[in-house]
Amino acid sequence: MKEDKVKAVESSFSENPAGDTVSGLIRAGAKNLINNHKKAFDYGLSALKLARENGDVPGMIKSQFFLADITLKKLSNSENARAYLKDVVTLATEIDDKANIIEALTMIGTSFVMEGNHKEALRSLDEAQLLLDVQNDIAQQAAIYAVYGTAYLIVSELDKALEYNLKCIEIGEYFSNKTTLGNVHNNNATIYYNMGRNEDAIKHFLAALELYSIIGDKQGIVRVNTNISQVYSRMEDLDKSLEHASMALDIAKKIESHRQICICLNNMGDINKIRGENDEALKYFIDTYEKAEELNLNREAASGANNIGDMLTRMGKFTEALTYLDIGLEKAKAISDIHLEMNNSFLRAMVGELSNDYKFAYIQLTEFVELKDKMINEQSSRRIDQLKTKYDTEKKERDTEIFRLKNIELAEANTKLKDALERVKVLSGLVPICAHCSKIRDDKGFWNKLEKYISEHSDATFSHGICPDCMTEYYPKYTGKGVS
């Protein structure tokens, strides 16, 4: 059946002179990305199969990039996306295609960011950056800076996130990648949001929304509308918050972006919780948890379970609340998300307090404080490591520069010594000199005055005077000697 599909697609492109069958299949898949990403994925699989059958390495790379992009953005399966991307790295390494290696490593970093895995994201990005230092591609550099910014943002290292975002914006002046610039504006807005600068956050979110709208990036439009909704919630403008949240959820459902649907559902729950509509909020949180659990999205499932526990606690259903909080804690630990663990401990403490189990509340608050201290210590340790790396790098660069300058100085000294030795060699050899006028013949056969020849072949300089004998011979009237 798959062979029939391949033949059908081949036939549909037989009259198209633009390129090979693999490219044709991928183009056909791209046309279905928005309305039918499953069909697009099938085209990608067919393209990969043909490329493998023909031993077409560039085709295999192209197909797996296409499949990874769908798997990551549409199917929300980071692990499977990484499998395609790692294969791209292997294939690109075989043909020494550094540009595609860098792009694959950057996408791997993005997949870890989407999972909240800061350490693995930085590991992939550092590897990409090392290659890029040799490759020097400005667009790829901007993309790496953007993902670096997001990686630091998810662990609340706002200064580092802002540093990389500003680097990306600076580079962005020289190229027109609206997707990357939109992502950076979105990240900068998030940083301002975390700083409590709501108006600046809205300004940058709207800039990102404009860029995403120009290029038709529905994923970006969903993400930014969700973020704008959260800012308006903080500003207590719940009507605007609900407007943007509903818009984001509608688009996410249309494009079947499962992870974004979970995030949007969770956001709708938060808004209804603030409005005091607990039953409606609980419904959204349950939808979030069930969809995330179905898709094996641990981060979204943990967040949904925590929020269900929160709502059930507010309703006085403490036993049911603890059941969901247990699930939330298990999933938060599975992905090492300390923020979700802290939130879980705080909610457990609230259960203990409201159910008059003060010992339990004390234990959970103690756990919360320990986790908070751990998070601060980890941030401090990362900062110390960054400063140490920066110091070591600067020291190495400084030592290298000193060594370079010493080499230049030594080379100059050697050149001078060589020239001096050459002059000594010339002056110490047989020098042809005129017996009458004392001119000297040089290597080119020209006759030069004695002082000119010696000046050119040594460091000696001349100051002209007159000896006593010549004084007597040529200027006798000044000496009182010689012929009258």
Most confident of 234-238, 423-427, 452-456: 234-238
pLDDT over 70 (residue 70): yes
Q: Are 268 and 229 in contact (CB under 8 A)?
A: no
Q: What is the arithmetic mean of pLDDT over 442-465?
A: 69
Q: What is the arithmetic mean of pLDDT over 314-328?
A: 95
- The answer as to whether 473 is a domain residue is yes
Quote the pLDDT of residue 35: 76
Look at 458 and 18; give whichever has higher pLDDT.
458
- The answer as to whether 468 is a domain residue is yes
pTM of the model: 0.54
pLDDT over 80 (residue 234): yes
pLDDT over 90 (residue 85): yes
Q: 178-182, 217-221, 225-229: which range is least confident on average?
A: 178-182
Quote the pLDDT of residue 420: 61
- The answer as to whether 454 is a domain residue is yes
**CA distance linking residue 63 with residue 32, whole number of Å:** 15
pLDDT over 60 (residue 483): no
- The answer as to whether 134 is a domain residue is no
Run of H or E including 441: strand 440-441
pLDDT over 50 (residue 73): yes
- The answer as to whether 444 is a domain residue is yes
- In this prediction, what percent of the chain has a pLDDT beyond 70? 79
Look at 168 and 397; give whichever has higher pLDDT.
168
pLDDT over 70 (residue 135): no
* Residue count (the chain): 484
Mean pLDDT over the full length of the chain:
83
Q: What confidence category does residue 455 fall into, taking pLDDT thresholds of 50, 70 and 90?
A: low
Q: How many domains does the chain have?
A: 1
Which phi and psi angles does 447 have, rounded to 5°?
-95, 130
pLDDT over 60 (residue 201): yes
**Structural domain of 459:** 430-479
CB environment 342-353: b (16+ within 10 A), e (fewer):
bbbbbbbbbbbb
Among left, alpha and beta (phi > 0; psi -120 to 50; other), residue 136 is: left
Most confident of 181-195, 348-362, 396-410: 348-362
- The answer as to whether 198 is a domain residue is no
- The answer as to whether 471 is a domain residue is yes
Q: What is the DSSP string of 219-231?
A: HHHHHHHHHHHHH
Q: What confidence category does residue 480 fall into, taking pLDDT thresholds of 50, 70 and 90?
A: low
pLDDT over 50 (residue 5): no
Q: Are 84 and 66 in contact (CB under 8 A)?
A: no
Q: Write the burial class of residue 24 (CB in 10 Å: 0-12 exposed, 13-18 middle, 19+ buried).
A: buried
pLDDT over 50 (residue 8): no
pLDDT tens digits for range 325-359: 999 999 999 988 888 999 999 999 999 999 999 99
pLDDT tens digits for range 28-55: 888 887 778 888 999 999 999 999 999 9
- The answer as to whether 458 is a domain residue is yes
Quote the pLDDT of residue 10: 38
Quote the pLDDT of residue 11: 41
